[in-house]
Amino acid sequence: LSDINESIKSYQQAIKIKPDYSKALLELGAIYESKSDWSAASNCYYRLIGTKPDNVNAYLRLARTLLKQDKIYGAISAYQEAIQLRSNLPAKVYKDLGDLLTQIQANKADILAAYQKASELKSDWQASFYLKFGDLLMEQEQFAQAITQYQKALELKSDFVPAYLALGDAYLKQKDLSQANHYYQKALQLKSDSALAYKKLAMLQEQAGQFDQAIQLYQKVLEIKPETNSAMCRAIGNILIKQGRLEEAKYYYDRAI
């Protein structure tokens, strides 16, 4: 501890003599980081950026220390400055930026660009990354590209139920009911009590005009998740109306109240 304190004093003295001494500011910032003094570390990097505004490393370190203080907007700004200065940064920088932009519900195009770059630079992220990336592409109605990302997720984690459900959704958007059904069924094979999978299958069968099967599936959702009573009873009632089964429809609508 005494050695660390001596180092801090030495670097502080060096900076006092030469305020733009970038090596000393970086080293001092690193020492403060090792002590979890994130505010002091951030101040070092701010000072360095003030004298050397093209120092990419300072922006990256600043982003890291600001995040430790939950200063998300500051961290985003630091990452963006670093990327403007150098476009070939490590993949994790782009992923972290995408995660932060997602957290503040930023412009979807900006989030997508960050994840796209992260995906180009690194091909072995965790399955959850590809699921999130695919979901963003779905929101932009880029269904074929979303399917590619969901399939990557499954290559990494073959029992990843959310990716099977997402693939079903993507194929449904493309009006490929057969493939959508296939992936929803795969999800159920892995998680036989998935109310969400049954609900998606029910909606698919309803869309295909298979009303009796849809009703059975909605009833299965009710069985697994009784708290969905209101929504499921309305859905069943709506189908029964289409079939002209008015008395039965009334029964379910009454249950939905």
On whether the CB atoms of residues 67 and 36 are closer than 8 A, the answer is no
At 11 the pLDDT is 74
3-state helix, strand, coil in the chain (%, to 5): 80, 0, 20
Residue 7 placed within a domain: no
Please tell me whether residues 222 and 254 are part of one structural domain: yes
- Contact residues for 123 (Cβ-Cβ < 8 A; gap 6+): none
Q: Could you tell me which of 10, 82, 23 has the C-alpha nearest to residue 51?
A: 23
- At residue 147, the pLDDT reads 98
Residues 161-172: tens digit of each pLDDT: 999 999 999 999
Q: For residue 10, what pLDDT is reported?
A: 82
- Residues 137-153 have a mean pLDDT of 97
Tell me if 35 is assigned to some domain: no
SS3 label, residue 89: coil
Mean pLDDT of 119-135: 95
Q: What is the CATH classification number for the domain harbouring 257?
A: 1.25.40.10
Burial of residue 97, with CB atoms counted within 10 A of its CB: 0-12 exposed, 13-18 middle, 19 or more buried: buried
The two three-digit tokens of residue 195, written as one number: 């109310």
Residue 155 covered by a domain: yes
Residue ending a domain, choose from 176, 191, 206: 191
What pLDDT does residue 1 have?
A: 57
Whether residue 197 is found in the same domain as residue 253: yes
- 253 plus 209 within the same structural domain: yes
Q: Are residues 198 and 187 in the same domain?
A: no
- Model-level pTM? 0.84
Residues spanned by the domain of 177: 142-191
